[in-house]
Amino acid sequence: MYEQIAFYLFSVLTVTLFLITVMSKNVLYAMTSLAAGMVLISGFFFILGADFLGVVQLIVYVGAVMALYSFAMMFFDATRNIKEKSTHPALVFGLGGMSALVLVMMFAAPLYSEKIQAFYPMHPEAGNAQDVGIVLFTKYLIPFEVAAVMLLVAMIAGIILAGKKMDVSFTQDLSVDDEIMKQKDAK
């Protein structure tokens, strides 16, 4: 009963917020509604009893990914509306709608036939985090490790891209200004 009320509340709110994200022309509205939608999605995990995944959703998507987006958004003037350039709105609408439909059908098909079965059912007595850990370190060990290597590669690439003058303090050394001006001239 409570779960159903919570589910419908969360779904309506999430869909509305993500609609605002897509429709709004204001950077600030889009960003806020996307972050709020991410918070509400973690609510679905809590309803399903997957506490651990819910909190991971909070920490990773709300705390880290969205914060990085918003960091990028600071390059825009947040108080003005953005003029979007869309040359083929009908094409975008058709392709987007089709892919969404295909995605929904892919995920809904096994549910509809009610043949879905958990290979690794939850153990309520062991707790959620343990279940996730056991599956990650047995069945999905290789994808897990590959993802770790991929993140390491991304991290090293990020450091190399950003760290060209890492040992120079920009606030202390005035010769850095000349350097920046030179690079600007070269461009």
Partner 1 sequence: MEATALGIVIKAIIILAIISAIAGFGTYLERKVLAFMQRRLGPMHVGPYGLLQILADGIKLFTKEDIIPQNANRLIFGIAPAITAATAFIALAGVPVFPDFTIPEFIPLLGGTFVPSVAADINIGILFVLGMMAAGLYGPLLAGMAQANKWGIIGAARTAIQFLSYEVVTGLSILAPIMIVGSLSLVDFNNYSSDHAWLMFTQPVAFVLFLIAGFAETNRTPFDLLEHEAEVVSGYATEYSGMRWGMFFIGEYANMITISILAAVVFMGGYNDLFFLPGWLAVLLKISFVFFFMLWVRAAWPHVRPDQLMWLCWKVLMPIAVINVVVTGIVMMV
User: Where along the sequence are the contacts to partner 1 (CB under 8 A)?
Assistant: 26, 28-29, 31-32, 35, 39, 51-52, 55-56, 58-59, 62-64, 67-68, 70-71, 73-74, 78-79, 127-129, 169-171
Q: To the nearest whole angstrom, how small is the minimum distance from the Cβ of residue 54 to partner 1?
A: 8
Closest approach, Cβ 55 to partner 1, in A, equals: 4
Could you tell me which of 107, 108, 118, 131 has the C-alpha nearest to residue 50?
131
Cβ closest to partner 1, residue 64 vs residue 157: 64
Minimum Å distance from CB 105 to partner 1? Answer: 33
Q: What are phi and psi of 99, to 5 degrees?
A: -65, -35
Report, in Å, the least distance between residue 178 CB and partner 1.
Answer: 19
Closest contact distance (angstroms) between CB of 121 and partner 1 is: 17
| Contact by Cβ (8 Å): 43, 83 | no
Spatial CA neighbour of 52 closest among 143, 140, 132, 135: 132
Q: Which CB atom, from 109 or from 152, has the smaller least distance to partner 1?
A: 152
Rg (C-alpha) for the chain, rounded Å, is: 23
Q: How far is CA 10 from CA 103, 126, 131, 134, in A?
A: 21, 28, 26, 30
Smaller CB separation from partner 1, 110 or 145: 145
C-beta of 6 vs 78, nearer to partner 1 = 78
Cα 138–Cα 141–Cα 147 angle in degrees, nearest 5: 155
What is the rounded distance in angstroms from the CA atom of residue 8 to the CA atom of residue 176? 56
SS3 category, 130: helix
Q: With the C-alpha atoms ordered 87, 89, 93, 95, is the resulting torsion angle positive or negative? A: negative
